Each structure stands twice: as structure tokens, then as C-alpha cells.
Amino acid sequence: MNELLNWLQQQKGSLRTYVEFQDRALALRADAPEQAALLRLLADLTGRFVEAYDRQPLSAEIAARALDQLTEFLGKAVGGRTAGPADQLALLNQIGASELA
């Protein structure tokens, strides 16, 4: 998860960033099965974002805002690995109810 966060923090936020993030998150599930739900939710979140802007112009402002939001979610997940079940569930619910924009 740290490696995924480090990679994401180096990205510019083009649509390709979200496609690659989705691929990386889904692939990481095999190595981190204890984070499978989180990774699936993040992958789905980015997938919906990609679908929303497929063949549409993606402004720098929207891309930056979405990248900040995704980075924040992943940062909370990495930082909260030792959090209790209630806090982990709250983060999952927050991600599950969110849209990148």
C-alpha cells in the first residue's frame, strides 16, 4: 500500500493515472488480501471517474482535485492500518459514498 501511495503522489492526474491506479489497486489485492475491500472500493471509485470523462475533456482543475481526493483516501488507509474496526469501516463507507471530482 505504501508503494501505491508513493506512486500516486508522483502522478500528475491525467486520465491515464486513474486507469493505471485502478489496475495497480486490483493487482495489489493478491498481495494484500486483508485490504481487498479497500482496494476494490478505490479501484471502483477511479473506474467511475474514468468512465465519466471517457472521451471528454478533463480540466486541470478537476484532475488535480480528484488526485488530491484519491491521495487523501489512500493516505488515510495507509496511516490507519492499525486503526480499529470501527475507524476502518468508517473509511470504507466514506470511500463507498464518494465520487472523484
* Cα 89 from Cα 93, distance rounded (Å): 6
pLDDT at residue 17, rounded to an integer: 94
Neighbour-count burial for 21-36, b at 16+ CB within 10 Å, e otherwise: bbebbbebbeeeeebe
pLDDT at residue 61, rounded to an integer: 93
pLDDT at residue 8, rounded to an integer: 97
Q: Give domain limits for the chain.
A: 2-96
User: Cell 488526485 belongs to which residue?
Assistant: 67
- Model confidence, pTM: 0.93
pLDDT at residue 82, rounded to an integer: 76
User: Cell 492499525 belongs to which residue?
Assistant: 82
pLDDT averaged per 10 residues in sequence order, the chain, 101 residues: 95 93 96 94 97 89 95 93 88 96 83
